[in-house]
A and B are shown apart, each in its own frame.
Chain A
Amino acid sequence: MQPIAQFTINYWQYLNADGQTVAELPAFTQNSERIISLYRAMSLTRLFDQKAIALQRTGQLGTYASPLGQEAIGVAIGSAMRPEDVLIPAYRDHAAQFMRGVRMSDILLYWGGDERGMDYAEAREDFPISVPVASQCCHAVGVAYAMKLRRQSRVAVSCIGDGGTSKGDFYESLNASGVWQLPVIFVINNNQWAISVPRSGQSATQTLAQKAIAAGIHGEQVDGNDVIAMTARMEAAIERAQQGEATVIEALSYRMSDHTTADDASRYRSQEELDKYAARDPISRLNIWLTETGLWSDQQESALQEELAEQVDQAVKAYLATEPQPVQSMFDDLYETLPTAYQKQRDELIAAQAPVDGGADHG
């Protein structure tokens, strides 16, 4: 008997929870503009998130999934990806989507019950948010296959939660990516909770990253609250993808919010746990580092907060001012050309719409 397969999973972190460097920083951190842009994007996502929750609580937005505490993951994804790459997101990835040019008003429209929130002005090839968990990983395989088939040096990036890694679609996607050596990256936002089920209820593996090993692709674990580590490892994964090797990045983070605004996490997790993870916040640790490096000041911080608040307000105004779609819009993008068979229903729908808005009371 002899061991025939062994593996190692590396854990990457540059900036610890206290904002102190624990390893030699990657070269991109020399670029102060770049690092400040990461800070700005995380701060914007958080302000947006606060506003979205306030809108939901006042009946101006539907059920909404908050990325609170996980902003570094999306920002790093968005920062590392190039415009020609394709993002295939889950439902908690608006930080990455913003970086890709998706408007804040689009995300509000989507959670506000309007399909136009999935018609992005930029990133036209990016997929819309995927609600059916893990199904998007298979799309990423198809997108990456198309890129490879056409000999393009583009990369597909798919996001998933820790819960999603329990689904067959996730394993099937990793497996196929290895077989075909596809330019694809799967980022697991391991925020420790899938609604009420903790990470330990999903898998007995020591890491989720090691699931890559069984598929013959690269896997690693990264401090998902360290935007420097996340950005560096995303860039490395993009390099690797272009060489024909897929990557699984397990980003360790924590879901500081409820699952969605329809959930009440106090039913199943403790305040002590929340407090513990609050101390590992991605934004405040970068703030400490920037301040200690002399790149950031209190004045800059308040100017930034003011500027971002203005941006968010503009987005909210645009969202709230968006007139509802005409009712027949529910047929107009059903097919490229509406089959004659359904034309009559479209006419009936238009005829039936008085009284408009809230006419039918369904409790």
Chain B
Amino acid sequence: MAEITLIKAVTQALAWEMANDERVLVLGEDVGVNGGVFRATVGLQQRFGAERVIDTPLAEGLIAGMTVGLAAQGLRPVAEIQFMGFIYSVLDQMLSHASRLRNRTRGRLSCPMVLRAPFGGGIHAPEHHSESTEALFAHIPGLRVVIPSSPGRAYGLLLAAMRDPDPVIFLEPKRIYRLVKEEVPDNGEALPLDVCYTLRAGSDVTLVSWGAMIKETLEAADILGEKGISAEVIDVATIKPLDTFSILESVARTGRCVIVHEAVRSGGVGAEIAALLAGEGLLHLMAPVQRVTGYDTVMPLFRLENHYMPSVQQIVEAAQKTLEFE
């Protein structure tokens, strides 16, 4: 079996589901003829036709709004927003409609849709192409927010998202789109949503992260291991709703927690996890919870980008701080 990248895993999941569920549609800007600017939808229009793989006009509000309409009609639309920087006009549709259509109609109508968007920095992209604003969506009741961090999880979680009866925001960490390859069987097997994935077992400190920062977090765990510190690494994967059980269970064993995210610190999902630990895990904590995050400032243009992004070293230092705490 060939090894594939995260972006290829996305394509593979879309193709599987389109082939096996005729209700699935793909729509967005440049997703058809061009196969998406990152090539996530490459080959789909040729295979499934222009009626099911729709090149829309340049209009994100329309894309999100018509996706709500398609979903309410019982189709399974998968919309692509080209970059997260263009997603903000979509917030209205997600907050006011997609997330609450089921609730408003007491279950009469629902919104089984997936909204995919690449996000995050580190690829020297132009302005507005590097932010991590997942917390905006994680704040909205009624949505699921799912973030894969490997080809295998991209495939399995995207399949699950497409089969989920409620709206899912599926955010793809574009920095690792082509960074690693792994074998991903194209067998249509979904992975569970709403649960964390423990990528490495450990006993001294729990490192919690998601998306592209999983790479740095795993590297930090390696370095900590060389120093004799056993770090558990948790990929949150679904940041809304949060799998509080797995995080609490891990921290109950390790007594220490470092949360790592690329997004700005204030109001980030890390704050929610820290509040969870303060509220329900306080007596297990042997040190204050540490957050390694982006700074509370505008994502700089790429010349200073590396200074903004959390580094392996910062994660290592934060973990050591929890161990040195007395």
CB atoms of A345 and B58 under 8 A apart: no
Q: Of the 9-residue stretches B26-34, B224-232, B272-280, which lies at the interface with chain A? A: B26-34
A150 contacts partner chain B, Cβ-Cβ < 8 Å:
no
Knowing A111-B126, A164-B58, the reply to whether A324 touches B304 (Cβ < 8 A) is: yes
Task: Count A-B contacts at CB 8 Å.
Answer: 134
9 contacts between A and B (CB under 8 A): A113-B305, A131-B129, A133-B86, A195-B30, A203-B57, A330-B295, A330-B304, A331-B295, A357-B306
Q: Ordered nearest first, which 3 A-B pairs have the shortest CB separation?
A: A113-B302, A196-B34, A166-B57
9 more A-B residue pairs beyond the given contacts A131-B128, A260-B126, A330-B300, with a C-beta to C-beta distance below 8 A: A63-B126, A110-B127, A132-B128, A167-B61, A195-B37, A196-B30, A330-B304, A345-B265, A353-B307
A358 contacts partner chain B, Cβ-Cβ < 8 Å:
yes
CB atoms of B122 and A131 under 8 A apart: no
Question: In angstroms, how far is the closest chain B Cβ from the Cβ of A80?
Answer: 27
Q: Is the interface of B mostly helix, strand, loop or mixed?
A: loop
**B265 surroundings in chain A (CB, below 8 A):** 345
Number of interface residues of B (CB under 8 A): 48
**A84 surroundings in chain B (CB, below 8 A):** none
Which residue of chain B has the shortest Cβ distance to A327 in the bound complex?
B307
B260-278 contacts to A (CB < 8 Å) = 265
A329 contacts partner chain B, Cβ-Cβ < 8 Å:
yes
Question: In angstroms, how far is the closest chain B Cβ from the Cβ of A63?
Answer: 5
A203 and B57 alpha carbons, distance in the complex (Å): 8
**B89 surroundings in chain A (CB, below 8 A):** 167-169
Which residue of chain B has the shortest Cβ distance to A264 in the bound complex?
B34
B62 contacts partner chain A, Cβ-Cβ < 8 Å:
yes
CB atoms of A63 and B125 under 8 A apart: yes
Knowing A268-B33, A362-B309, the reply to whether A197 touches B175 (Cβ < 8 A) is: no
Contact of B61 among A168, A325, A345 (CB under 8 A): A168
A306-363 contacts to B (CB < 8 Å) = 324-325, 327, 329-331, 334, 341-342, 345-346, 348-349, 352-353, 357-360, 362-363
Question: In angstroms, how far is the closest chain B Cβ from the Cβ of A323?
Answer: 10
Question: In angstroms, how far is the closest chain A Cβ from the Cβ of B303?
Answer: 4
**B57 surroundings in chain A (CB, below 8 A):** 163, 166, 197, 201-203
Question: In angstroms, how far is the closest chain A Cβ from the Cβ of B129?
Answer: 8
CB atoms of B303 and A112 under 8 A apart: yes
Which residue of chain B has the shortest Cβ distance to A345 in the bound complex?
B295
A133 and B314 alpha carbons, distance in the complex (Å): 36
Knowing A202-B57, A362-B306, the reply to whether A113 touches B296 (Cβ < 8 A) is: no
Question: How large, as a class, is the contact surface on chain A?
Answer: 35 or more
Contact of A330 among B34, B175, B298 (CB under 8 A): B298
Which residue of chain B has the shortest Cβ distance to A339 in the bound complex?
B296
Most buried by B among A166, A194, A357: A166
A276 contacts partner chain B, Cβ-Cβ < 8 Å:
no
CB atoms of A194 and B309 under 8 A apart: no
Knowing A113-B124, A133-B86, the reply to whether A334 touches B298 (Cβ < 8 A) is: yes
Knowing A164-B58, A166-B58, the reply to whether A268 touches B34 (Cβ < 8 A) is: yes
CB atoms of A324 and B303 under 8 A apart: yes
A33 contacts partner chain B, Cβ-Cβ < 8 Å:
no
A210 and B141 alpha carbons, distance in the complex (Å): 42
A122 contacts partner chain B, Cβ-Cβ < 8 Å:
no
**A133 surroundings in chain B (CB, below 8 A):** 58, 86
CB atoms of A330 and B308 under 8 A apart: yes
Contact of B295 among A112, A167, A196, A349 (CB under 8 A): A349
